[in-house]
């Protein structure tokens, strides 16, 4: 069965990638786009877009009434994104939202509509699916290996150390890890900082070098062995795997789910 | 609460490590050993053993009646191991078995006794806990990343390629992976074998070098990212983490469980 | 001392990066650009260019006569690139050339002029400096570790396996490696291809996954240890380190050098 | 041509490995051993030694006069080691010394004798050959990549951080590295220590986990690429590759060389 998708924001950075991805997937079909300009044109008429006969609409309601679709994929900007998603749900379409920045009220509102309409809606503002899996695996491995350190590596233009992902990984590990002071009880740093940041006994190390993009290793050590979970993010398209997964799954759920980690199990 | 443990086979390779581990753990206490020689001596009297006042028994029944314990840890050899475990369960002790080689009948027999006595019994003949987690994580990641390759690296005295762990990992991945031919449809090897073994579309690569011990990477690729799960086994003591985990968990289960993978979730 | 640089091809993919790099380096100054359009304008007048008062010339001779400079950096296209470089040398400028595609005759011609004029000229058409170092290190390590395997990893749109870099690395290793059949003499593949391509005893493994860019590991194994040299190329700007190195070194050499590997020692 | 070797200290930890290695090498022959006991016996008579007809001598002079050999390999203890080496050189044998602890005077003395006798003598007290190469490669890469960080990983029984090898690597890097403050000028640690130890701008990170042995990565970052040199030391036999290399090279040099790094180029 083919999944018919309407994309909002086809000219944006994320939208462009999503259009490409949908056209490449055998089980998906791009049936329309919503754009704030270019009403009535076809995608192939737009400079820099793929050569396909997909109609463009400025008015979401008109689009939803004219085009038969399964899922609405919102990738434009927060303001209009909320309205589009609301209208899509009200028109009976499932929705996947890849933009961040919705307010709590807006999410509550959409949750209610999705519930009433018995439609799946997934809002996945943030993480590449690989990063979510890394954190979930780390949380689970910590039940069996209380000794763990995190090395995160980023380009040297990054201001903060450690990274937000490292801190979030640590938080998840702490949910299952037994409290433990790691390393030798009498270990000492002959150069201050060598052992990294120490948070609840877990040591975190931040590498910053030109060339690097966004990488993290979570290393668990036990007698005679180590288990390492590594995520390398090479570019911003890494969210696309998550979008694709959400499109394939939104038809199987009912109600609104916020955050990829809640549909990955 | 302290876990009182009786160890069978304290002079063997595994037994020696287990004795050391139990003495090091705050929540465990070594209360007796069963050995086919040295009856009536203390552990500290045995050459090469730790300096502790732990009594040694040749007769398991005598040991179980004289010593109050929580768990029996069987690490001797299959023949007597079965009998010891049976007697321990019958004496009301939980049992953890780290030896391999029990027959199917023996396992069935122990399963029945553990059930009747409402006692936990864990038989964990095989894998380091890190290897089990690697395989379980790989199986789960394959649901979201259908593109995966395995690189396993071993010392150059290993005869078979790929390793048994790589094949077992592949089997577990196939339980969740969508069928897919990987790589470019028209890819070609200018040197035969470069793309490794191809099993159901998953490529497996076996590295053999002096110095290496036993290592495996499972690499998942998706748009703009990779997720890698790596297990490094540095020596044969790597099973100890699994033994320790089993000791801590056998008091919380009822009946016999065969294989670490069935208590790790 | 500041190095005054004229850049040819400032709007191209490589030229844009080079302009940015020169503006960022404390010891370099961008004094002019040569472009086939925009004569008489300033760089800041060109859409998408940095906001600097650097003059643009269409005629290279006019540029070389009007502007006092130390080095000419040629990054446009082969046809005009050759002529530009020749004129620069004749005008008394050192030259660094980052375009590929010069004919053997053109290189001979430039070699002669650079020799006569006693000027440094570096033509570096090809490799990131990191890849060159990886190959040189591998060649040297092979003198001490005859056991070596290569794992190269690329995106899944790559057609050939193994990669050209892997083959070139192997060639360099063979210059110093003692002949040796690696692995166990009786090793056998239970899945064909598992041990990779075997060239002169060295095994090469090619991984192809979406998300990956261009990566290579050269692993040397000896008793109780491994030595691994890894190069990760994350984007096409990786040549920039080589350009920068060449700019800094062209003032210290006399005559033409072809290939980065010949100025790296 | 076969290299005839006399081993001093065949029952020690290093000696045992060396005997095994020499017996395995096609171009080497074990012709005698020097031991403080077992005079007149054969190696095969000694419990735990290989089954070979190699004679054992207590008196080094008697050994050197009775047995025709090319190289003397000293692996016993410092006191007698010095005397043995001196007698070997005086008897016209080249010498390779794998024990540490010779005094400066002893080394000067041996240097003089080796010079007079025009004989090669290599004293290699310390590093696995892989570690030496890692440091030499790092020193060289630093000429082209001023941005570098070091991650060293050891078992959690290690007291000091960073490791001696990391500090020595840093020292070697500083010989060629341009001074540079790395990372973003305004970077800040939200958890103190995250960025590791900062020595002359190079950041060093020390990981301590059970299971780990002795590992180090030196990571160089440049535009769009990273170059990583990794050494993994899995057991204490890793010095054997250096011994083997020294044995093969001592016949080609004249005079005394102290430290493997001075014969590796």
Minimal CA–CA distance to C99: which of C174, C16, C8, C190?
A: C8
Q: What is the dihedral of CA B169, B173, B175, B180, to 10 degrees?
A: -140
Residue with tokens 């931040």: A206
Among C41, C86, C158, C168, the one annotated catalytic: C158
CB contact under 8 A, B209 and C226: yes
pLDDT (0 to 100) of residue B265: 72
| Percent of chain B's residues with pLDDT above 90 | 79
Mean pLDDT of A5-22: 92
In sequence order, which residues have a C-beta less than 8 Å from that of residue A47 and are 6 or more positions away? Answer: none
Whether residues A119 and A241 fall in one domain: yes
Higher pLDDT, D264 or B147: B147
CA C33 to CA C52: how far, in whole Å? 12
A14 falls in which pLDDT band (50, 70, 90)?
A: confident
pLDDT at A238 over 70: yes
Which residue on chain C is closest to D225 by alpha carbon? C233
Q: Under an 8 A CB cutoff, do B193 and C191 touch? A: no
Number of domains in chain D: 2
Size (chain C), residues? 265
A99 pLDDT above the threshold of 80: no
Which residues, in sequence order, are CB contacts of D5 under 8 Å at separation 6+?
Answer: D22, D28, D29, D30, D31, D69, D70, D71, D72, D73, D247
Beta bridge partners of A75: none
Residue owning tokens 């303001």: A79
Taking CA atoms, B184 is separated from A241, B147, B218, B246, C249, in Å, by 19, 12, 20, 45, 41
Phi first, then psi: what are they for B50, rounded to 5°? -65, 155
My answer on whether A226 and A181 are in the same domain is yes
What average pLDDT score do residues A187-211 get?
96
- The per-residue pLDDT for range C241-257, each reduced to its tens digit, is 889 889 999 999 999 99
Residue A126 in this model has a pLDDT that exceeds 70: no
What mean pLDDT value characterizes chain C? 93
Report d(CA B131, CA B264) in Å as an integer: 12
Report which of A54, A49, A14, A50 is spatially closest to residue A31, judged by C-alpha positions.
A54
Using the 8-state DSSP alphabet, how is residue B228 labeled? E
Sheet strands side by side (includes A147-154): A197-199, A202-208, A147-154, A214-222, A225-233, B225-233, B214-222, B147-154, B202-208, B197-199
- For D207-240, write each residue's pLDDT tens digit: 999 999 999 999 999 989 999 999 999 987 788 8
Distance in Å, alpha carbon of C202 to nearest chain B alpha carbon: 10
**Per-residue b or e along D58-81, where b marks 16 or more CB atoms closer than 10 Å to that residue's CB:** eebeebbeebebbbbbbbbeeebb
Shortest CA gap D255–chain C (Å): 22
**pLDDT, tens digit (0-9, with 9 covering 90-100), for D65-94:** 999 999 999 999 888 999 999 999 999 999
> What confidence category does residue C195 fall into, taking pLDDT thresholds of 50, 70 and 90?
very high
Beta bridge pairs of residue D56: D33
Per-residue model confidence (pLDDT) at position D179 = 78
List beta partners, residue A42.
Answer: A55
**Is C165 touching D (CB cutoff 8 A)?**
no
Pair C111, C241 in one domain: yes
Do residue B170 and residue B209 come from a single domain?
yes
- pLDDT for A179 equals 78
**Model confidence over D160-172: pLDDT tens digits?**
999 989 999 999 9
Q: Is a pLDDT exceeding 90 seen at residue C230?
A: yes
pLDDT at B126 over 70: no
Q: How far is CA D162 from CA A229, C150, D220, in A?
A: 24, 30, 18
| Contacts C156 to A, Cβ<8 Å | none
> Which subunits count as partners of chain A given 3+ CB pairs below 8 Å?
B, C, D
- Whether residue B235 is predicted with pLDDT greater than 90 in this model: the reply is no
Cross-chain CB nearest to B213 (options D212, D234, D238): D234
- Report the mean per-residue pLDDT for chain B: 93
Is residue D126 over pLDDT 70? Answer: no
* Predicted pLDDT of residue C49: 86
Give yes or no: C155 in active site.
no
- Conformational region of residue C211, where left means phi above 0, alpha means psi within -120 to 50, and beta covers everything else: left
Q: If we measure between CA atoms, which residue out of B61, B72, B75 comes closest to residue B94?
A: B72
Residue B209 has pLDDT above 90, yes or no: yes
Judged by CB atoms closer than 8 Å, whether chains meet at A194 and D224 is answered as no
Q: How far apart are CA B101 and CA B87, in angstroms?
A: 18
Average pLDDT over residues A169-197: 92
pLDDT of residue D263: 85
Alpha helix (H) residue ranges in chain C = 13-24, 60-66, 78-90, 104-117, 129-141, 164-174, 240-249
Query: Is there a contact between B224 and A230 if contact means CB atoms under 8 Å apart?
Result: no
Option in B211, B212, B234 nearest D211 (CB):
B234
Domain CATH number, residue C178? 3.30.360.10
Tokens in use for C125? 């058409």
- Is residue C118 domain-shared with residue C7, that is, in the same domain? yes
B7 lies within 8 A of chain A by CB: no
Angle at A73 between CA A69 and CA A77, to 5 degrees: 140
Going through chain D in order, the beta strands assigned E by DSSP cover: 3-8, 28-34, 56-57, 71-74, 94-97, 120-123, 148-154, 160-161, 188-189, 197-199, 202-208, 214-222, 225-233, 255-258
Q: Is B52 helix (H, G, I), strand (E, B) or coil?
A: coil
**Residue C262: band (very low, low, confident or very high) from pLDDT cuts 50, 70, 90:** confident
Per-residue b or e along A112-128, where b marks 16 or more CB atoms closer than 10 Å to that residue's CB: ebbeebebbbbbbebbb
B60 and B119 together in one domain: yes
Mean of the pLDDT values across residues D124-130?
78
Average pLDDT of span A162-178:
92
Distance (Å, rounded) from C-alpha B219 to C-alpha C101? 37
> First-to-last CA distance in chain A?
24
Give yes or no: residues A109 and A158 share one domain. no
pLDDT of amino acid A102: 87
Q: What is the mean pLDDT of residues D29-36?
A: 96
Kindly give, in sequence order, each residue whose CB lies less than 8 Å from that of residue A107, ignoring residues fewer than 6 positions away. A123, A256, A258
Q: Do A34 and A11 touch, CB atoms closer than 8 A?
A: no
Please choose, from the candidates B211, B225, D37, the residue with its C-alpha nearest in 3D space to the C-alpha of residue A165.
B225
Q: What is the rounded distance in angstroms from the CA atom of residue D73 to the CA atom of residue D110?
A: 14
**Same-domain status, D39 and D118:** yes
The Cα–Cα gap between D121 and D111 comes to 8
> Which pLDDT belongs to residue C126?
62
For residue D241, pLDDT beyond 90: no
The residue among B223, B240, B262 with the most chain A CBs within 10 A of its CB, best to mutate, is B223
Using CA atoms, how far residue D19 sits from B113, B240, D9, D84, D99, in Å, is 53, 33, 10, 18, 15
Q: Regarding predicted confidence, which is higher, D18 or C48?
A: D18
Q: How far is CA A146 from CA B196, B228, D209, in A?
A: 36, 21, 10
Whole-number pLDDT of residue B262: 86
Write out the residue range of the structural domain in which residue A36 sits.
Answer: 3-123+237-262
**B141/C contact by beta carbon, under 8 A:** no
Domain of residue D21, CATH code: 3.40.50.720
Same domain membership, residue D161 and residue D73:
no
D31 and D159 housed in the same domain:
no
pLDDT, tens digit, for every residue of A37-84?
A: 999 999 999 887 899 999 999 999 999 999 999 999 999 988 899 999
Radius of gyration of chain C (CA): 22
Instruction: Let me know whether D119 and D34 are in one domain.
Output: yes
pLDDT above 90: residue C109: yes
Catalytic, D203? Answer no
Reading the block at residue A76, the tokens are: 């434009």
DSSP string across C70-82: SEEEE-S-HHHHH
CA dist list (Å): D137 to B70, C227, D224: 56, 11, 20
pTM above 0.95, yes or no: no
Name the 3-class secondary structure at D209. Answer: coil
Contact B234 D234 (CB under 8 A): yes
Residue B185, chain C, CB below 8 Å: the answer is no
Tens of pLDDT, residues C130-185: 999 999 999 999 999 999 999 999 999 999 999 989 999 999 999 999 878 899 99
Q: pLDDT tens-digit profile of C84-97?
A: 999 999 999 999 99
Do residues B35 and B53 both lie within one domain?
yes
Q: Of D195, B143, C217, C212, which Cα lies nearest the Cα of A233?
A: C212
Cα torsion at D34, D40, D46, D50 (round to 10°)? 70
Phi/psi of residue D36, each to 5°?
-80, -10
Of C77 and D93, more confident:
D93
- Residue D49 binned pLDDT confidence (cut-offs 50, 70, 90): confident
Alpha-helical (H) ranges within A10-54 are: 13-24
Mutate to test the interface with C, among B153, B178, B187, B206 (most CBs of C within 10 A): B206
Q: Are D6 and D63 within 8 A, CB to CB?
A: yes
Which chain A residues in 230-249 lie under 8 Å from chain B, judged by CB atoms?
230-241, 245
Q: What is the mean pLDDT of residues B99-119?
A: 92
CB D76 within 8 A of CB D15: yes
User: Is the Cβ–Cβ distance between A60 and A87 less than 8 Å?
Assistant: yes
Element (H, E) at B203: strand B202-208
In chain D, what percentage of residues exceed pLDDT 70? 98
C226 and B204: CB-CB below 8 Å? no
Mean pLDDT over each residue of chain D, to the nearest integer: 93
pLDDT over 90 (residue B189): yes
């Amino acid at each position: 069965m083919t999944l018919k998708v309407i994309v909002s924001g086809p000219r944006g950075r994320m939208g462009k990638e999503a259009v490409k991805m949908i056209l490449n997937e055998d089980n998906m079909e791009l049936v329309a786009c919503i754009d704030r300009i270019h009403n009535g044109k076809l995608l192939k008429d737009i400079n820099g877009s793929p050569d396909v006969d997909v109609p463009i609409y400025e008015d979401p309601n008109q689009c939803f009434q004219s085009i038969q679709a399964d899922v609405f994929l919102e990738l434009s900007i927060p303001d209009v994104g909320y309205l589009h998603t609301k209208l899509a749900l009200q028109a009976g379409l499932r929705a996947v939202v890849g933009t961040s920045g919705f307010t709590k009220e807006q999410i509550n509102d959409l949750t209610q509509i999705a519930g009433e309409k018995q439609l799946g809606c997934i809002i996945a503002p943030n993480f590449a699916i690989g990063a979510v899996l890394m954190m979930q695996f780390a949380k689970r491995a910590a039940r069996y290996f209380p000794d763990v350190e995190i090395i995160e590596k980023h380009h040297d233009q990054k201001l903060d150390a450690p990274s937000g992902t490292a801190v979030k990984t640590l938080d998840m590990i702490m949910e299952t890890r037994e409290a433990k002071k790691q390393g030798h009880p009498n270990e000492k740093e002959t150069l201050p900082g060598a052992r990294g940041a120490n948070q609840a006994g877990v040591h975190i190390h931040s590498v910053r070098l030109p060339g690097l993009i966004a990488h993290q290793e979570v290393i668990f050590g036990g007698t005679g062995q180590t288990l390492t979970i590594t995520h390398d993010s090479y570019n911003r398209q890494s969210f696309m795997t998550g979008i694709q997964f959400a499109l394939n799954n939104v038809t199987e759920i009912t109600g609104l789910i916020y955050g990829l980690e809640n549909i990955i199990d």
